């Protein structure tokens, strides 16, 4: 099954709050974003944002230029329905981050929780990196959360690539300077323990 079909099925057959990666609030990401002290009109993209509540919290924090991108149309429709009228204040993009054409040097923050680790083929990671380098402003920030080495080898039935800080840094390349990192244990709604690695990078 192709990735898009997989995720459309996942989002169409389970309530969002029962999905493995669901969290009511992405508190680590929110704390780090607050500490960056970005202006309210700073362009932010949440890659694989899907039905995540990060967009709700970013709007609540006063950010006015938020883009949510996901492979799944169903995921985006769920987020729009949840936001109601506020959905009109968000830019919604349905597409594959390894193939999308994003505006050049546009975003001040690129956020990715649990997309990058699904890219198990080197050519997928390289295409992702190409999109990232094109779209993120020099001096902009990247927040990425992937499965850590202790995490399971699969998520939602798909294989993942697990990362420590050094491997993630080497994969992203010398253009990205690590600023901070931490591990965070996520327990899925069904009780499975998944150790995440959160990293903040600054683009040189």
Residue 61 has pLDDT above 80, yes or no: yes
Q: Which residue has the higher pLDDT, 109 or 16?
A: 109
**The total number of structural domains that make up the chain:** 1
The secondary structure of residue 102, as a DSSP letter, is P
Question: Structural domain of residue 167, as residue ranges?
Answer: 3-11+25-203
Compute the distance between CA of residue 53 and CA of residue 26 in angstroms, rounded to an integer. 8
Q: Is residue 94 part of a domain?
A: yes
Establish if 57 belongs to a structural domain. Answer: yes
**pLDDT tens digits along 103-137:** 999 999 999 999 999 999 999 999 999 999 999 99
For 69-101, the pLDDT digits (tens) are 999 999 999 999 999 999 999 999 999 999 999
CA quadruple 146, 152, 158, 164: dihedral, nearest 10: 30
State the residue for tokens 């079909």.
5
In a domain, 16, yes or no: no
Residue 17 lies in a domain: no
Q: What is the CATH number of the domain that holds 153?
A: 3.40.50.150
In a domain, 18, yes or no: no
Are the beta carbons of 110 and 132 closer than 8 angstroms?
Answer: yes
pLDDT band at 51 (very low <50, low <70, confident <90, very high): confident
For 145-176, the pLDDT digits (tens) are 999 999 999 988 899 999 999 999 999 999 99
Is residue 199 domain-resident?
A: yes
19 in a structural domain: no
- Place 1 in a pLDDT band, splitting at 50, 70 and 90: low
Helix runs in the chain, H state only: 3-13, 27-36, 54-60, 73-83, 122-135, 165-172
Asked if residue 146 belongs to a domain, the reply is yes
Spatial neighbors of 135 by CB under 8 A, at least 6 apart, are 45, 102, 103, 104, 105, 106, 107, 110
């Amino acid at each position: 099954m192709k990735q898009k079909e997989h995720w459309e099925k996942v989002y169409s057959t389970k309530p969002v709050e029962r999905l493995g990666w669901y969290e009511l609030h992405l508190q680590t990401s929110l704390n780090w974003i607050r500490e960056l002290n970005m202006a309210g009109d700073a362009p932010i993209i949440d890659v694989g944002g899907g039905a995540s509540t990060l967009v709700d919290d970013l709007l609540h924090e006063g950010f006015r230029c938020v883009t949510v991108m996901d492979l799944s149309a169903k995921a985006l429709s769920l987020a729009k329905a949840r936001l109601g009228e506020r959905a009109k204040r968000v830019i919604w993009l349905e597409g594959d981050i390894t193939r999308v054409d994003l505006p050049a040097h546009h975003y001040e923050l690129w956020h990715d929780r649990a997309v990058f680790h699904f890219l198990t083929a080197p050519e997928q990671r390289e295409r992702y990196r190409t999109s990232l380098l094109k779209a993120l402003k020099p001096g902009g920030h990247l927040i990425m959360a992937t499965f850590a080495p202790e995490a399971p080898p699969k998520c939602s039935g798909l294989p993942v690539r697990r990362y420590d800080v050094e491997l993630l840094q080497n994969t992203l390349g010398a253009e990205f300077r690590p600023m901070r990192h931490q591990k965070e244990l996520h327990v899925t709604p069904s009780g499975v323990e998944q150790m995440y690695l959160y990293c903040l990078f600054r683009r040189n």
